[in-house]
Amino acid sequence: MSKPSRRAARAADRSTGRPGGSFAGDASSPRAGRRQRSRTGYRRSAFNRYRNWIFGIGGIAAAAILFGFLFLGSTGKTYACSTIWNPNPTASPAAGATPQLGYLQPDMGQLHNATSSQRYTNCPPASGSHYNAAGKGPVQPRLYGPDDPAEPQGWIHNLEHGALVILYRCDGDACTDAGQAKLQDVFASIPNSPVCNLPPGNTYGPGPVIARFDEMAWPYAAIVWDRVLPLQTLDKDLILQFFRQWGDKTDPEKLGCPTPSGARSAEPSAAPGESLTPSDSVAPGGASPEASASPS
């Protein structure tokens, strides 16, 4: 191509603004399709961009909540207390008189309709609504360790049958190996019931049931139906004396064994020896009264 011809071609290129002389709107241009295509793209929302993470984290959180609910449901307490019962002390018996051991607790009924969220007016309860189902109440007489489930809804039914129940708190030595050995010794020492001569070790006799119960004002307590013996220390002799005095005499279900009339005392009385000097009742969570011996 001659020089004038090449100049003319370059001039034509400049006039069109495109190499080769094609116009922007010329369909023959190799880039015309891209220029003519409308731009309809959009930005995805934050949810769409991170929804896999959101669903994943949500699933983990739901699983954790479900696990916590099931765990608490299986290990949490199924009862509550309106009052930590701590009766007023009574006068010592007259010289030569036989003391009536323990304190009479107001009766809270004996309905067989305990629920999974039972509330007791006084704790430790010596009566009240309780389970009436195999494996739940009455419970097997034995020593229940600190981590063994032993709900009052179960052992109250044992009380109703005339059993002796011994409770311990876990903030002292009762939950140590030595403390558990002492409790086991007490368990093995319980005799036949004093009136009906029922042997220990069955749910329709003297029991005994020994279980942890932290909602009380004393380190230990021995209980028969409607009567509580507070204890500062685990006094086996006093517990046996208490059982001989009140066993088979306060329980409302006689189970074919006659109970002497007038066995249930009308007034609370002071307990001798290692029993505590109770004071006014305290609300749950409040400070327990100072424990002290009250000889009679």
- Over 60: is that where the pLDDT of 37 sits? no
Choice among 14-23, 122-131, 273-282 with the minimum mean pLDDT: 273-282
- Over 50: is that where the pLDDT of 246 sits? yes
154-181 confidence digits (pLDDT tens): 999 999 999 999 999 999 999 999 999 9
Choose among 188, 213, 193: nearest CA to 260: 193
Three-state DSSP state, 132: coil
183-228 confidence digits (pLDDT tens): 999 999 999 999 888 899 877 778 999 999 999 999 999 999 999 9
Q: What's the token pair of residue 1?
A: 């191509």
pTM of the model: 0.67
CA distances from residue 213 to 125, 220, 223 in whole angstroms, order as listed: 10, 9, 12
Beta bridge partners of 84: 123, 282
CA distances from residue 179 to 151, 190, 236 in whole angstroms, order as listed: 21, 17, 13
CA distances from residue 22 to 9, 11, 30, 32 in whole angstroms, order as listed: 12, 13, 10, 10
- Over 70: is that where the pLDDT of 74 sits? no
Q: Where are the domains of the chain?
A: 47-74, 77-246
User: Do residues 195 and 240 make contact, with C-beta atoms less than 8 angstroms apart?
Assistant: no
3 pLDDT band, cuts 50/70/90, is: low
User: Do residues 238 and 229 make contact, with C-beta atoms less than 8 angstroms apart?
Assistant: yes
